[in-house]
Amino acid sequence: MRIGIIADVHANLPALEAVLEALEAANVDTYLCAGDLVGYGPWPNECVERVAALPGLCVAGNHDLIATGRLGDGRCEPLARTTLAWTREHLGSDARAYLEALPLSARLDDVLLAHGSPEDPERALTAARAEEALESLDPDVRVLVVGHTHRPLSVSAGSARLLNPGAVGQSRELRVRARALVLDRATGDARFLAVRYDTARVRRALAVAGLPRRAYHLPPSPARRLARRIGRR
C-alpha cells in the first residue's frame, strides 16, 4: 500500500491541487492528512471540500480547532490570529461541520496520525523531541505521522519512525514549495515531494480577501538560517 501524506494545507488551494496531482501520479492508494486545513489562506471551504473527498483519514490541527471554537487562540502569533478571525467569518456550514467532527488522532493499522503530538495538537515535534515521542508510543505503533512544524522530517528510534511531510500551504523555507510525502508500506520507503505551484494566484486571492499577502510563505530569518547551518556541522 502506498500512502499519500499531507499536512498544513492552510486554505491554499493552488498548493493543494499541485500536491494532489503529484500524489495521484505516484499512484497512492489512500491518504493521511495531519490537519490544519484552514487558517492563513483564502480558500478554507474549497480546501476542506477537497480533503474531505479523499479516501483515507484526516485529523484536526490547531487552526481547525480554533476556527471552529474547540480551542482558543491565546497561543497564536498575530498573523495566525488575524487570518483565523477571517476564516471564522467565511467558513461555510459544510466545512465547519467537517472540521468539528475531526478527531485529534487516528490509526491506520500500525500508523498513528496526529497534528502536533498525539497528546497536544499545539506541541511541535521537532527533531530534538522526536525520539522521546517515539519512545512513548504504544509498542504496536510503528509510524507516527505529524505536521504542525511546516518542515519535513524523518526520525527513527528503535522500531518506530516519525514522519512529517512538511507544509502544503505555508512554506517556511527559502523556496516556495508545496510539500507532501509518499510512504510505501511494503518497502518502508518514504519519498518527500516538493512541488511548485501558482503563487501569483495565491497572492491575488489574498489581496482580494484583504488578508496579508505574506500569509502563504514565511521564509526563515537570516539568524534562523545561520543557526540551522551551525546545527548541521
Query: Do 29 and 53 touch, CB atoms closer than 8 A?
Result: no
Is residue 204 scored above 70 in pLDDT? yes
Q: How confident is the model at residue 226 (pLDDT cuts 50, 70, 90)?
A: very low
Confidence of residue 79 (pLDDT cuts 50, 70, 90): very high
- Per-residue pLDDT, averaged over 94-119, amounts to 97
In this structure, are residues 35 and 61 in contact, taking their beta carbons and an 8 Å threshold?
Answer: yes
Q: Quick one: what percent of the chain has pLDDT higher than 70?
A: 95
- Per-residue pLDDT of 60-73, as tens digits, reads 999 999 999 999 99
- 95-128 core/surface letters (b: 16 or more CB in 10 A; e: else): bbebbeebebbbebeebbbbbbbbeebebbbeee
Question: Considering the domain 2-106+165-232, what is its CATH architecture?
Answer: 4-Layer Sandwich (3.60)
